[in-house]
Amino acid sequence: MNLEEFKQKLSNIFSTFKKDKEVLSVDELKIKYLGRKSEFVSMLRLIGTLPISERKEAGKIANEFKNKIEKLLEKLESENNQPKNYNLDVTLPGKKVPVGHMHITTQTIREVADIFKKLGFYQVRYPEVEWDYYAFTALNFPEDHPARDEWETFFIDSKPINSKYGARILTPHTSSGQVREMEKRKPPIRMINISRVYRRQMSVRHLMNFYQFEGLVIDKNINIGHLKGILDFFVKKFIGPDTKYRIRPYHFPFTEPSFEVDVWLGKENKMAKDGWLEIGGAGMVHPNVLRAGGIDPNEYSGYAFGWGIERNKLSIGGINLEDIRILYQTDIRFLEQF
């Protein structure tokens, strides 16, 4: 064999390769054309039989042949990853990706905020780790008054650490935002404070950590009629236009007069007592609280109300839960129902 014949032979092999690549798989082609028993490998052994002067050239040609085949095999391989006859069937149903939604508490918070924003309230949020001062003292709770126990407070400090502000606590009600708001803004005030509150309680009807929303309106000539008007609007919007409710005298140190508001849910509702559900407190801001906020009670008056989010929403929605704590156990089977 001489160089010419050598070249010819390789080009013949290449021609059969071109035909084979239409019918054989990439793996079969690899074995047949570059494998240990391939014609190409036996040709390599022949190089040694060529005249010495032609061996270098023959080696080069053989290398080129090998590179060419390898490139084509690579190309075939990448093409093979795609189906040859790719048809798009637009009638096939699409893949459904599971989509989450907001927690029922978040939904309710937004619902409440929207109702009050329509009435001209602005939304604020105050610290959850709060001074005793804002949660109690500034709200006209006498020092060591047993009323402080009613709020079942968590204490961060075991004794007062500041002569004015006292100890740090986890705020037990959103009313702690009242004097903070008065310190920040001059009347007219129309805030809605929606925040987490904490109480040392835990049962099927109580969460240690729940949400409240607190309304505070302070302006000239604010009277009980305004408070009733707002409550009426809210109750009818949040629960339903035909909702029956009542405003019942009560006591809070920070409002005078004070009320509790009950809505009629009917005798069948388990959360309600004799058909009435107490949804929260309200009242006219006590003059001492206005003073604590640097507002002159002879010039201004105001009203406040504070209601819980979770239990009210569930009772009103007619959801008779056996244990309210399931709300925060992140059980998707429960949560996805709302």
Provide, rounded to whole angstroms, the least separation between the CB of residue 140 and ligand PHE.
Answer: 11
Q: Which range, of 73-81, 93-101, 226-234, 278-286, touches ligand PHE by CB under 6 A? A: 278-286
Work out whether 305 is an interface residue with ligand PHE (CB under 6 A): yes
Q: Is 283 in the site for ligand PHE (CB under 6 A)?
A: yes
User: 3-20 and 39-46 are packed helices; what angle lies between their axes, rounded to 10 degrees?
Assistant: 170
Least separation in angstroms between CB 90 and ligand PHE: 58
Does 281 bind ligand PHE (CB under 6 A)? Our answer is yes
Stretch 189-218 residues interacting with ligand PHE (CB under 6 A): 214
How many amino acids of this chain bind ligand PHE (CB under 6 A)?
13
The answer to whether the peptide bond before residue 188 is cis (omega within 30 degrees of 0) is yes
Q: Which of 304, 309, 327, 335 binds ligand PHE (CB under 6 A)?
A: 304
Residues 6+ apart with CB under 8 A from 162: 131
Tokens (6 digits) for 325: 């704590």
The CB-of-252 to ligand PHE minimum distance in angstroms stands at: 5
Are 3 and 54 spatial neighbours (Cβ–Cβ below 8 Å)?
yes
Contact pattern for ligand PHE over residues 223 through 262, marking x by CB under 6 A: -----------------------------x--x--x----
Which residue, 108 or 175, has its beta carbon nearer to ligand PHE? 175
Radius of gyration of the chain (CA): 40
- Residue 147 CB, nearest distance to ligand PHE (Å)? 11
Binding piece for ligand PHE, criterion CB under 6 A, among 20-28, 103-111, 126-134, 300-308: 300-308
Q: Which stretch binds ligand PHE (CB under 6 A): 96-104, 203-211, 304-312, 317-325?
A: 304-312
Q: Which stretch binds ligand PHE (CB under 6 A): 15-23, 101-109, 121-129, 277-285?
A: 277-285
Helix or strand or coil: residue 287? helix
* DSSP class per residue in 130-193: EEHHHHTGGGTPPTT-THHHHT-PEESSSS--BTTTB-EEE-SSGGGHHHHHHHH-PSSEEEEE
Which of residues 105, 171, 175, 315 is near ligand PHE by CB under 6 A? 175
Length of the chain: 338
302 makes contact with ligand PHE (CB under 6 A): no
- The answer to whether the CB of 154 falls within 8 A of the CB of 169 is yes
Collapsing DSSP to helix, strand or coil, 224 comes out as helix
* Interaction of residue 282 with ligand PHE, rule CB under 6 A: yes
Which of 289, 313, 311 shows the shortest CA–CA distance to 301? 289
Are 169 and 153 contacting, i.e. CB atoms less than 8 angstroms apart? yes
Sheet with strand 129-131: strands edge to edge: 129-131, 168-170, 154-155
Interacting residues with ligand PHE (CB under 6 A): 173, 175, 214, 252, 255, 258, 280-283, 304-306
